[in-house]
Amino acid sequence: MLSETDVISAVNKKLESMGYEIRQRLKITQSSIDVVAMKAGSLPIELYIEAKGELGRTGKKLESADMLSNVAEALYKAVAVLSLRGERDQVMVGIAFPDNKEYQKYVHGIEPILDQLGIAIFWVKPKGMVEIASPWGL
């Protein structure tokens, strides 16, 4: 079972291996976008990622309805960042989840819309490996 902290840590490691500098790493007790990363270049990229886990704050496995609620909250936060983007096209957003059947079911149901909105999905596997589904290049 992956906690939100595990998901954030795995995403940070993956982004760092891709040349991103992590500017913000939140703990589960803090509320805001969980990961903010920057990548230098001719057009620098600011990447904002909201992460969710399989465990609640008490360490108990989440129910299916809680995972659906997590997907909805992550989507809301990602769209909120997009709404603030304005003319800053280099601002990108993503959502990150454990790679399990429940999250897959809920996210795959809205994946075409995520692609249209330009929201990347970070799937975190049990050993910390991260698979990225992105409509734009990272």
Output the pLDDT for position 29: 54
Q: By C-alpha distance, which of 36, 1, 18, 34 is closest to 131? A: 18
Q: Give percent of the chain with pLDDT exceeding 90.
A: 72
- Among 17-21, 31-35, 94-98, 112-116, the least confident range: 31-35
pLDDT beyond 90 at 27: no
What does the domain layout of the chain look like in residue ranges? Answer: 1-59+98-128
> Per-residue DSSP letters for 64-82?
HHHHHHHHHHHHHHHHHHH
Q: By C-alpha distance, which of 17, 10, 62, 65 is closest to 35? A: 10
Neighbours of 17 (CB within 10 A): 9
Output the pLDDT for position 114: 96
Inter-helix orientation angle 101-108/64-85, to 10°: 50
Q: What is the band of 49 on the pLDDT scale with cuts at 50, 70, 90?
A: very high
Output the pLDDT for position 31: 59
Model pLDDT for residues 71-125, shown as the tens digit of each residue: 999 999 999 999 877 666 688 999 999 999 999 999 999 999 999 999 999 999 9
pLDDT beyond 80 at 25: no
pLDDT beyond 70 at 23: yes
Output the pLDDT for position 2: 95
Q: By C-alpha distance, which of 102, 98, 101 is closest to 121? A: 98
